[in-house]
Amino acid sequence: MTEAYLQDVWNKKRFHSPSIKLVDGTPVVILDTGMHNVYRSGPDFEMGRILIDEITFIGPIEVHVNASDWYLHNHHFDRSYDNVILHVVYNFDQEVLQNGRRVPTIEMKSLLFDFKNRSNLRREDYRALVCRKGMLNIEPVYLESMKAKALIHKLNDKVKGLNSLLDQSPSEVLYFLLMGAFGMNVNKSAFEDLAIEIPYRMIESLNSTQRMNLMLAKSGLMNEKYARSKGYVWNRKGTRPANFPWKRLGECLMLLNSFPLRRISDISSCQESICLVREELMNSECDLSSLFIDHLLINMVVPFCFWKEMNDLGLVNGEGVVDELLKIPSERNHILRWWKKVGINAETAYDSQALIGLYRYYCCHKKCLSCEVGKKLLNR
């Protein structure tokens, strides 16, 4: 038994639900298992709903293999677990108290179905790709057509966000994208909010120490209570230590000490921009990995060039951007692993960005009738 498997069972409600009781014998009704918290720090499920003694409780739910894991993971020191309404465990080996309150607990050992093949319950579920069985049996031109369409859709989405900025000077837009890219997916919003609160024109004249002190003070990274009061949510769950927010923020500020942001923002050629940024990143003191450098090129320089093409030249097809994406290696993430399972490999950043867009805008929403691949399969 693993915690990931137990979370999957709880998320998909694959357990005997009639007459569930807490470990103390109190009947409990599971009204909603909650929303699975995959990326943010804190309890495993949010907004769960349970009924105990005709009283409805709404709040977070935590899942463990053993009840004692609560203390093993140091949750008793974390205030974000004070409001947990239910502790779901496979084995109840210890009573759990949080802030002096006994946490309601159910033991799942007797409630689980006897699955013969637990491999079907992997968290990486690619069932959203409903045409996966027939996709390789049609002409590649249909998939390529949709990839191009999805890529432009994805780039346009990013440009919409940039056009909503109050200060749309090239240097501020590039700075905003740089901050968001350093935040990765899990902390992107917080990094972008910080870039808006502390614009580039404000930190440009400061020295490195002043920049760091200002960013740490405004972000609340050293004071969780202050961060929440300012609306910043910094997540560690789902990230490796190398991507912890304070580490990435430090690297970003170190890069900005020597990064020619204004010179890059004035370059009109996407190819020249990418060459200059790659050279600066490779020679920076941050010691960034090649994978992270590619990530910055894809999520900072490429959207910036597309934004400039649209605003300065009125171009909407992104030809210059597409040519450069074809030269950058593909990213690595769970969505691309799902595509690989059905036989579709991403070799370049063009492939990866297009396949992510196709999955996000069409497959997830079952828009098969708006997809060339889906329509071709339905008409066979």
Where is pLDDT greater, at 78 or 22? Answer: 22
* Predicted local confidence at residue 194, as pLDDT: 93
Contact of 357 with 322, CB cutoff 8 Å: no
Taking only the tens place, the pLDDT of each residue in 87-115 is: 999 999 999 999 889 999 999 988 875 44
Q: How far apart are CA 291 and CA 240, in angstroms?
A: 14
Contact of 72 with 96, CB cutoff 8 Å: no
Q: How far apart are CA 106 and CA 72, in angstroms?
A: 19
Taking only the tens place, the pLDDT of each residue in 177-189 is: 999 999 998 889 8
User: What does DSSP assign to residue 253?
Assistant: H
* Predicted local confidence at residue 314, as pLDDT: 65
Percent of the chain with pLDDT over 90: 53
Q: How far apart are CA 133 and CA 296, in angstroms?
A: 34
Residue with tokens 């050629």: 269
Kindly give the interhelix angle for 184-197 and 170-182, rounded to the nearest 10 degrees.
140
* Predicted local confidence at residue 18, as pLDDT: 66
* Predicted local confidence at residue 119, as pLDDT: 41
- Ramachandran bin of 84, using left for φ above 0, alpha for ψ from -120 to 50, beta for the remaining angles: beta
Taking only the tens place, the pLDDT of each residue in 286-328 is: 889 999 999 999 999 999 999 988 887 666 667 788 999 999 9
Distance of CA 234 to the CA centre of its chain: 12
Q: How far apart are CA 60 and CA 79, in angstroms?
A: 12
* Predicted local confidence at residue 118, as pLDDT: 45
Q: Is the pLDDT of residue 357 over 90?
A: yes
* Predicted local confidence at residue 349, as pLDDT: 96
Residue 225: CB atoms within 10 Å: 9
Average pLDDT over residues 240-263: 90
Global pTM reads 0.68
Burial class (CB in 10 A: 0-12, 13-18, 19+), 142: middle
- pLDDT-based confidence at residue 121 (cuts at 50, 70, 90): very low
Query: Who's near 36: CB < 8 A, 6+ residues apart?
Result: 7, 11, 44, 45
- pLDDT-based confidence at residue 70 (cuts at 50, 70, 90): very high
107's enclosing H/E stretch is strand 105-107
**Cβ density class 81-112: b for 16+ within 10 Å, e for less:** beebbbbbbbebeeebebeeeebbbbbbeebe
- Ramachandran bin of 19, using left for φ above 0, alpha for ψ from -120 to 50, beta for the remaining angles: left
Q: Is the pLDDT of residue 61 over 90?
A: yes
Residue 49 bridge partners (DSSP): 32, 58
Query: Who's near 303: CB < 8 A, 6+ residues apart?
Result: 155, 158, 159, 162, 177
- In the chain, what are the domain boundaries? 3-121, 135-373
Q: Is the pLDDT of residue 124 over 50?
A: no
Which of 107-111, 271-275, 342-346 shows the lowest per-residue confidence on average (mean pLDDT)?
107-111
The residue type of 201 is R
Residue 167: CB atoms within 10 Å: 13
Residue 108: closest CA among 6, 192, 180, 203: 6
* Predicted local confidence at residue 226, as pLDDT: 79
The span from the first CA to the last CA of the chain, in angstroms, equals 44
Where is pLDDT greater, at 319 or 70? Answer: 70
Average pLDDT over residues 342-360: 94
Q: Is the pLDDT of residue 148 over 90?
A: yes
* Predicted local confidence at residue 23, as pLDDT: 93
Taking only the tens place, the pLDDT of each residue in 149-171 is: 999 999 998 888 888 787 889 99
Contact of 171 with 200, CB cutoff 8 Å: yes
Q: What is the DSSP string of 163-186?
A: HT-S---HHHHHHHHHHHHHTHHH
Taking only the tens place, the pLDDT of each residue in 4-34 is: 888 888 887 878 766 789 999 999 999 989 9
Kindly state the tokens that stand for 93: 């080996």
Backbone angles phi, psi at 345, to 5 degrees: -100, 145
Mean pLDDT of the chain: 87
- pLDDT-based confidence at residue 369 (cuts at 50, 70, 90): confident
